Structure 1
């Protein structure tokens, strides 16, 4: 039997990318055992695949208050330390070191932490660098959000957003493959002697646009609201996004699709939506066929609530309203322009929103207030040409699907042979 592969990932988006790659690898080599150690959280993204026998969750893991975004603020770091971050990291370090003594390879997915652990194992490893892109410093910041001249100059001097200590780990003789999210970033690393590749974006795999919306829905304007997956931040950000209803009244029939990441409590949404003058409606068979579990209305506006309906509803949307990370990028990759509204965090703060907008070339536009969000929403809905332009930018920045299969082939050839 071939040696097993250990996968390290450190975040919700990284977990989804790792899962896509593992599934592609197992399709090609079902005899290969794959073990996954999520460094942040409990690895819920892997639960279904683990239950199906595609992989095995292993090692010490625990949820953290910041959701893995302790680098966004000192407060988040302090909360994580109080929750046992140092002890968890130490146990994970020891676990990976023990794995390395077996001689079996590792795949690190994320940024410095999984890359450092893979190097420390003493075994051969590969690296998929997911969060960093040179577009985030080489692109202009969104209008009204200020510049970051010191950080931009620092990255420009290096010619890469990745740092010298990360180059050293990527260029180590035991690192057999380095894959990053876009060709622009790969070129920056190759100037420093790193044989980086950009084989495609696994975020877009399995996210093929659904068929056209039902006839009754295609005759309406369609918005998709993505509050994120981390609680309680998701609930707070959903309330902020719905503040747009105070400053905006649709002029024609409009449906707002609330795609929650988990099974939502309709009662909580009912309380929130009633504050904005919406009344609960009757759930008809056609609404249930779309995956809705509750509906509200106010004038020309209809709101549908659907659990885990992102993949079905994303391709139906004309504009997204979002405070999410991975889902926002996926929506932009489908060609849907997005308006975002950063909050207090721990994830979707002003710095995160500005960085996301630069990464996606303005296909995501951050707003300071619900009123500004309402104004930009009116502009986008009134201009199909502008929506198409922003959609093309988002698709170009996110790249092509099929990255998981190409990465699986490269891993076989360079790391697992």
Structure 2
């Protein structure tokens, strides 16, 4: 089977499904075609021989968010997006005879690729939810357009999902599946794979006396660097009755040096971590505030936090799905813009609240740290919207039943 994904968050979801497929049918040959970025999320799985990566790949200036702004789209076009997409399309056509079926994870582009393969296909629609337009206040043109359709998905997408070769359509929640079924799409919502693979460990002893804040600045440089600086400014001042531990979960080591330079500029000094159990890549100290930089530590650190501050997509959704409320601070993008933050907050039922300035972020953060009942209330909404773990296994079962994966593939 060939799995197609189009973004960092989609790659992680695809990886969870791959792990579940291997658990249920170890002999299945799996190939992956990441349409955005270099597919770094699959590196360990490739080294273990679980999956083969095919097709050309390249990082794009927008990080896969060219649909968020005209500037991002133009940057991707000048960086060679049309040629890259054409090469990926040719690769897909070349490999289609080697697979029994295709599974697309993401939105329109992977869905279109799967349809164009000519093979039976399934679709896991990860980014769109009807909660974004029917939950909470919203009367702009986009909301009215979706309300008129009765679905976040568009008519051309319904057409592809209704194709006779499309054997499986999975959405992230039941509300969205219900909206698609009204348009003749046999959609279902067996579970959300975003919540799989996360730890539920409590904070180690070295952090139990600290107020714990998880900082998520995103995975795409240089936007993540700009957002890190703004989020860090929003943390000061914080209550000084207890030490503050700011856990900065990073996607990779790529930004360690630049983030360290920003911390130094804001008056922090490099320091040894208080414990090896923290698995921090670097540690910085300023007064009663301890900042830990942790490449690849999100899964471990997320359940330790009391509150999150974020300019991230998938990671923020996972955090509130653990019952931890978050505050966001929109920037210039290309990913985390005002529009993105608004949609995210509505998608998550207010479990993440968007702030308009660093001052507002600081005020709301102090309020959350002092009000445990508010933290519980927001956290409960996040758990409800994201659902429990186990989605990857449920999706894998449906893939094995509904897609034609015989013939030794």
**Considering only aligned residues, what root-mean-square deviation do their CA atoms show, in Å?**
1.6
Structure 1 unaligned runs (5+)?
A: 142-146
For residue 168 of structure 2, give the secondary structure of its aligned residue in structure 1: strand
Q: 2:198 aligns with which of 202, 207, 218?
A: 207
Give how far 1:89 is off: 1.2
Question: Which residue of structure 2 lines up, in the alignment, with residue 256 of structure 1?
Answer: 246
Give how far 1:158 is off: 1.0
Distance in 2 (alpha carbons) for counterparts of 1:282 and 1:8 = 42
Evaluate the alpha carbon distance shift between residue 133 and residue 111 of structure 1 in structure 2; reply closer, same or farther with a 3 A threshold.
Answer: same
Whether the 8 Å CA contact 2:228–2:259 is kept in 1: the answer is no
Whether the 8 Å CA contact 1:247–1:370 is kept in 2: the answer is no
Distance in 2 (alpha carbons) for counterparts of 1:276 and 1:368 = 21
Give how far 1:245 is off: 3.7
Q: 1:165 aligns with which of 156, 162, 180?
A: 156
Distance in 1 (alpha carbons) for counterparts of 2:210 and 2:57 = 45
Give how far 1:96 is off: 2.0
Question: Which residue of structure 2 lines up, in the alignment, with residue 65 of structure 1?
Answer: 61
TM-score (norm 1): 0.93
For residue 290 of structure 2, give the secondary structure of its aligned residue in structure 1: strand
Give how far 1:247 is off: 4.3
Deviations 1:152-198 (A, max 9, x none): 11111111100111111101110000000001101111111111110
Whether the 8 Å CA contact 2:100–2:404 is kept in 1: the answer is no
Question: Which residue of structure 2 lines up, in the alignment, with residue 194 of structure 1?
Answer: 185
Q: 1:240 aligns with which of 230, 235, 239?
A: 230
Evaluate the alpha carbon distance shift between residue 232 and residue 266 of structure 1 in structure 2; reply closer, same or farther with a 3 A threshold.
Answer: closer
Deviations 1:197-256 (A, max 9, x none): 10111111111312x212341122110111111111111110110111444454422211
Deviations 1:84-118 (A, max 9, x none): 11111112222223333556311111001111111
Distance in 2 (alpha carbons) for counterparts of 1:379 and 1:103 = 54
Q: 1:390 aligns with which of 369, 373, 378?
A: 378
Residues 3-402 of structure 1: pairs in structure 2 closer than 5 A: 5-101=1-97, 104-141=100-137, 147-210=138-201, 212-263=202-253, 267-284=257-274, 286=275, 288-402=276-390
Give how far 1:82 is off: 1.0
Give how far 1:259 is off: 1.6
For residue 411 of structure 1, give the secondary structure of its aligned residue in structure 2: helix
Evaluate the alpha carbon distance shift between residue 270 and residue 11 of structure 1 in structure 2; reply closer, same or farther with a 3 A threshold.
Answer: closer
Evaluate the alpha carbon distance shift between residue 283 and residue 264 of structure 1 in structure 2; reply closer, same or farther with a 3 A threshold.
Answer: farther
Evaluate the alpha carbon distance shift between residue 28 and residue 103 of structure 1 in structure 2; reply closer, same or farther with a 3 A threshold.
Answer: closer
Distance in 2 (alpha carbons) for counterparts of 1:218 and 1:325 = 28
Give how far 1:383 is off: 0.3
Distance in 2 (alpha carbons) for counterparts of 1:269 and 1:103 = 43
Distance in 1 (alpha carbons) for counterparts of 2:221 and 2:13 = 21
Matched residue count: 405
TM-score (norm 2): 0.95
Evaluate the alpha carbon distance shift between residue 191 and residue 265 of structure 1 in structure 2; reply closer, same or farther with a 3 A threshold.
Answer: closer
Structure 2 unaligned runs (5+)?
A: none
Deviations 1:110-146 (A, max 9, x none): 00111111111111000000000000001114xxxxx
Distance in 2 (alpha carbons) for counterparts of 1:265 and 1:15 = 20
Give how far 1:148 is off: 4.5
Give how far 1:345 is off: 1.1
Evaluate the alpha carbon distance shift between residue 245 and residue 364 of structure 1 in structure 2; reply closer, same or farther with a 3 A threshold.
Answer: closer
Distance in 2 (alpha carbons) for counterparts of 1:176 and 1:266 = 44
Whether the 8 Å CA contact 1:98–1:121 is kept in 2: the answer is no
